[in-house]
Amino acid sequence: MADRQGQFITFEGPEGSGKTTQALLLTERLQADGLTVVRTREPGGTATGEYIREILQHGRSGETVCAEAELLLFSASRAQLVTQVIRPALERGEWVVCDRFFDSTTAYQAYGQGFDLDKVENIHQFAVGSTVPQCTFLLDIAVSESLCRMQRRNAEQQTAPDRFEREALAFHESVYAGYHALARRHPERIRVVDATRPIHDIADRIWEELNDVLTRTG
Ligand code: Z5A
């Protein structure tokens, strides 16, 4: 891995699937290999993006954000992150590990909320241009199990569920189906990993899959 130019890697999956945990472990492993890694997240990762995150997840504007505005705000946060953080890091030859990226919008806003898939993908193209991940790990966990994990975490940390966690079960099932449809469409980029295994087994699997993707893409 150590002699490789910077690569762009993303983590996707339902809430509580372990994206943040695995993004951190992969970052540490790459760094231990001597690589410079930028770890970031969506929505957020820039000052503008973090403001947008507050509006979207915690109702900071004090009014209901309509679904169209929500889709565009996720995309706006992404455009800022690509321009300010991801593209410059890749141009410097660094690695980027991002917790969620445009597949989240496809899964949540197109498959979950029912926006037209082609329109959503055109917005992705406008927001990110050619800055597309080389490899995406889809952390696979049944909806019921991911919701249990989130409830457990909220109870432990005494936090309230956010707006997305309060969505109906049918919404989460559509998001899950959407992720798997994406994985079938992009088998060369999206690797599905069983997220119900112990944390370090998953990390080892991700490492193997990453090596495989990079070997195949040269
Ligand atoms: N959203 C959208 O609609 N459209 C978009 O374009 C984008 C996002 C970008 C962002 O939330 C919300 O925005 C999200 C989608 C929507 N909806 N929700 N909810 P976020 O990014 O802040 O939150 P999240 O994606 O739901 O992440 P999370 O809650 O932090 O979960 P996670 O990162 O996948 O998991 P984790 O934090 O690593 O782990 C969760 C818990 O499980 C924690 O207690 C761990 O210790 C535990 N865990 C992790 N791995 C394991 C294993 N293997 N076994 C057992 N327990 C584990």
Which domains does the chain show, CATH number per domain?
A: 8-217 (3.40.50.300)
Nearest to 1 by CA among 100, 97, 103: 97
Q: What is the largest CA-CA distance in the chain?
A: 50
Q: Which residues pair with 39 in a beta bridge?
A: 97
**pLDDT tens profile 4-47:** 789 999 999 999 999 999 999 999 999 999 999 999 999 999 99
Q: Residue 106: is it exposed, middle or buried by C-beta count within 10 angstroms (0-12/13-18/19+)?
A: buried
**All residues at 6 or more sequence positions from 129 whose CB lies less than 8 Å from its CB, including other chains:** 82
Identify the DSSP state of 104.
H
Q: What spacing in Å lies between the alpha carbon of 3 and ligand 1's midpoint?
A: 31
**pLDDT tens profile 124-172:** 999 999 999 999 999 999 999 998 888 888 888 888 877 677 778 899 9
Buried b / exposed e along 128-144 (16+ C-beta atoms within 10 A): beebebbbbbbbbbebe
Q: Give the pLDDT band of residue 61 (cuts 50, 70, 90).
A: confident
pLDDT of 57 reads 85
Q: Residue 127: is it exposed, middle or buried by C-beta count within 10 angstroms (0-12/13-18/19+)?
A: buried
**pLDDT tens profile 82-137:** 999 999 999 999 999 999 999 999 999 999 999 999 999 999 999 999 999 999 99
CB 199 within 8 A of CB 207: no
Q: What spacing in Å lies between the alpha carbon of 179 and ligand 1's midpoint?
A: 14
Q: From CA 66, how far away is CA 141, in angstroms rounded?
A: 29
**What DSSP string describes 168-210?**
-HHHHHHHHHHHHHHHHH-TTTEEEEETTS-HHHHHHHHHHHH
Question: Average model confidence (pLDDT) for the chain?
Answer: 94
Ligand 1 atom nearest the C-alpha of 15 is 26
Q: What is the enclosing helix (H) or strand (E) of 48?
A: helix 47-58
Nearest to 206 by CA among 218, 190, 186, 184: 190
pLDDT of 7 reads 97
Q: What spacing in Å lies between the alpha carbon of 146 and ligand 1's midpoint?
A: 9
Q: Give the pLDDT band of residue 209 (cuts 50, 70, 90).
A: very high
Predicted confidence (pLDDT) at residue 195 exceeds the cutoff of 90: yes
pLDDT of 2 reads 67
Pocket of ligand 1 (CB under 6 A): 13, 15-21, 42-43, 74, 100, 104-105, 108-109, 149, 153, 162, 164-165, 195, 199, 202
117-128 helix and 67-81 helix, angle to the nearest 10 degrees: 30
pTM above 0.85, yes or no: yes
Q: From CA 109, how far away is CA 121, in angstroms rounded?
A: 11
